[in-house]
Amino acid sequence: MARIAGVELPRNKKVVIALTYIYGIGDKSAKEIVEKAQVDPDKRSNELTPEEIQRLRNIISDYKVEGELRKEVAMNIKALMDLGNYRGLRHRRGLPVRGQRTRTNARTRKGRKKTVGGK
């Protein structure tokens, strides 16, 4: 079982797909990494040799992934909230940030419906 950047890669998935389980690596960057490491993209992650795993680790170390990236994203959101600009206020109130309607929908951000009795 390959462990790269603190993440256990799933066993029976192709290397390109398995790398996307690492936070900060998507389809495009996974393909780039596999190409740079000279690993067969059709190979399954449990078939990787220790040498191939080490090459992947070396290339991924150049990318900002997992904890470092999560910390940066959190700091960016905190900076928006500290500035007090519109996006920061929306983050602070737990409402949609990118202009979506909130009269209906937006339940993921707003939580369960709170019914208010009307006369």
Sequence ranges of the domains in the chain: 3-66, 84-110
d(CA 115, CA 65): 41
d(CA 78, CA 82): 6
Q: Quick one: pLDDT at residue 51?
A: 94
Could you tell me the pLDDT band of residue 93, with boundaries at 50, 70 and 90? very high
Residue range 84-110 in CATH 4.10.910.10: yes
Q: Quick one: pLDDT at residue 117?
A: 84
- Fold entry, domain 3-66: Helicase, Ruva Protein; domain 3 (1.10.8)
d(CA 54, CA 76): 32
Q: Quick one: pLDDT at residue 50?
A: 93
Based on the number of CB atoms within 10 Å of its own CB, is 119 exposed (0-12), middle (13-18) or buried (19 or more)?
Answer: exposed
d(CA 48, CA 27): 19
For residues 117 and 62, the model is more confident at 62
Structure tokens at 70: 């999560």
Q: What is the mean pLDDT of residues 86-97?
A: 95
Per-residue pLDDT for 1 more than 80? no
DSSP label of 8? E
pTM: 0.81
